[in-house]
Structure 1
Amino acid sequence: MTTTTKNMTEECEAILIASRNYNIENSIWPTDVITINYLLTQSAAMKTVYDELSALSAQQRAQFLDQLVGTLSFWSPENAIEMRAARDRLIDVNKKISTLAKDLADLLEERSAIENQHPFNSNTHYHIVNVIKEASRDNYHFRSFLAEPLQALAGQFDLKYWPYLPAVIKEIGDDADAAEIYATDPRTEAATSSNRSSKADFVRAVLSMIDELKDTPGLNFSQDFSVSDSAMADIVNTCLKLSAEELVDGAHVKNLRHREKRSL
């Protein structure tokens, strides 16, 4: 069932108000509340966007608006910058783990060699089970359910059946060295796919959001569903609070969409 565009702004804002009130009553998603409050002050600027939702069912409009609010709250250009920084830091951390693990494994090997070759002992861990037990001493679930069976297993099989501590550390390093960093959701992947941060990050996130809606079973979005270039420009200009000098138009969005298609 479709709805005429006559009162579409009122209908869309009623959806936003209901969502905001629910979040407030349940003390959840405070960032979404801030986003909705802002959108409710932008009725005129968002009119074209709301009008284009008239062909959707009430459930689909609610889903679209809910996801748009979430995209603005969590995939804004500022957040995309932070996400890129986190990704770069994760790469760096894995490199450091790889290097430090190799150094630690070498030191563990050297300690064992010294203790085996000389009449000295540092009374340190040599069995993986002891490491697990000590590392889990504050873990109630381990102490209650795993400690006893694990100790029994350690008594049943001598040291040659268990991984050597330096080998365990080396494996942690090898795993970090081979790590492949990837986004855990399509919108993050879209918002951080370019090398440099820009308004295009948010456009890509919104386009990814629309693709997710179309691919979600039960929502029944048509695979042809989209928002026009001009409506997308209104979303960008309004949601990102762009100044007069920063505004984008439909042609800008159209060019971005074409570039994205060519990169696929």
Structure 2
Amino acid sequence: MMTENKNAAAYTTAMLSTRLKEFKDRPVPLLRSMWPVLERLIMREHEMAPVWEELAEKRVTGIPLWILIEQCILAAVEGESGEHNTIRAEYRELQTLNEEISAMSIRLALLIDERDALLNRSGHFHVERMLRLTDLIDAAGNDNYLYRTRIKPELENLGQYDLKYWPDMAALLHALGEEKTEITFRYDASEAIAFARPSLRTDFFRNIFDRIREISDGSAYGLRPDFRLSDASLSTLCNVLLDLLPDEMTDAAYLKGVRQRLRKQGYSAAW
């Protein structure tokens, strides 16, 4: 086992070199965004050696080793490509769109109410429009084959009910405008990134914690549910994957502080 661990750096570096060559030598090269990060891991073999040795001690080899490294690389690529800033910007945009949809729905409902009031008090005009909810649904679903074959026959049976049984269009729009929309997140990392102050290193750790948790499922190609990397190894991964300058580099002490901050923010994946 000692010999195997000491050869871990050479073994892992050779594996990464093979992967990079496979990506580059295809007729259509694959995953170009990953190339610079892979090259850093290969060139900085001496620096990465303790990480590869720790993983060998934890019996993370073969396909599970590559899957772990791949997730780490993707976490770095997302940070470097501005993915985290995109998450924050898109979250703000989604909030704005929800607010605008509500406001516009209420405004449209009020316009319909105004039109009906004018028609009722004037007596000189009539506006041809769809009054039944079923008519509106039918018009919207006209190009949908499944609607026409499955829903429309059932909907036509409801045509026997007078207008008084149906909510009017203005009421539907009021309901849409008053709907309580809530933005939820698929991943803890995305939620933490959206609400946190921008920080390349902290964003990276949020992302990598989340990714490691996702693959720690006990499957044949995943990691054990109790898998953990030391703070020293995580710090080295951060320094190399993000290619940090000497005065920006992290260490085990820095990582402990990151964990504490993430836990205070309620980030459940900060193992």
TM over 0.5: yes
Can you list the C-alpha shifts for 1:62-104, whole angstroms capped at 9, x where unaligned? 3322322333344557211110011011111111111111111
Is 1:187 matched with 2:189? yes
Once the 2 structures are TM-superposed, how far is the Cα of residue 107 of structure 1 from its aligned partner? Answer: 1.0
Return the match for 1:106 from 96, 99, 110. Answer: 110
Contact 1:68–1:206, Cα closer than 8 Å, also in 2: yes
Partner of 2:231: 229
Residue 72 of structure 1 aligns with an amino acid whose one-letter code is A
1:105-124 correspondence to structure 2 within 5 Å:
105-117=109-121, 118-124=123-129
Contact 2:134 2:159 in 1 (8 A): no
Superposition RMSD in Å: 3.2
The residue that corresponds to 2:135 in the other structure is 130
Aligned residue number for residue 6 of structure 2: 6
Identical counterparts, % of pairs? 25
- Quick one: distance in 2 between partners of 1:109 and 1:2? 80
Equivalent in the alignment of 1:209: 211
* Gapped regions of structure 2 (runs ≥ 5): 267-271
Aligned to 2:59: 56
Is this contact kept in 1: 2:232–2:252, CA < 8 A? yes
Deviations 1:230-255 (A, max 9, x none): 22222222222323343223322222
Contact 1:101 1:172 in 2 (8 A): yes
Matched AA of 2:67: Q
Moved runs in structure 1, 4+ residues, more than 6 A? 22-28
Segment drifting more, 106-115 vs 37-46 = 37-46
Question: Which whole-Å deviations, capped at 9, do the CAs of 1:196-217 have from their partners, x for residues lacking one?
Answer: 3442111121122223333x25
Q: 1:87 to 1:3 in 2, by over 3 A?
A: farther
Instruction: Render the CA deviation track for 1:151-181: whole Å, top value 9, x for unaligned.
Output: x134233323333211211122112xx2222
Of 177, 191, 199, the match for 2:201: 199
1:146 paired residue among 147, 151, 154 = 151
Aligned pairs (5 A) from 1:25-174: 32-36=31-35, 38-43=37-42, 44=44, 45-54=47-56, 55-57=58-60, 58-74=62-78, 78-117=82-121, 118-150=123-155, 152-174=156-178
Corresponding letter in the other structure for 1:191: I
- 2:130 is matched by which residue type in structure 1? H
Partner of 2:246: 244
**Quick one: distance in 2 between partners of 1:161 and 1:76?**
57
Unmatched runs of 5 consecutive residues or more in structure 1: none
Whether the aligned pair in 1 keeps the contact of 2:105 and 2:176 (CA below 8 Å) is yes
Contact map agreement 2:79 2:200 (CA 8 A) in 1: no
AA aligned opposite 2:206: R
Q: Which amino acid aligns with 1:119?
A: H
State the TM-score, normalizing by the size of structure 1. Answer: 0.80
Distance in 1 (alpha carbons) for counterparts of 2:16 and 2:93: 39
Letter of the 2:75 partner, please give it: T
Q: TM-score by structure 2 length?
A: 0.79
Per-residue CA distance 1:24-62 (angstroms, 9 max, x = gap): 97979x5x4531553144222433332221113434323
Between the aligned partners of 2:26 and 2:225, the Cα distance in structure 1 is: 33
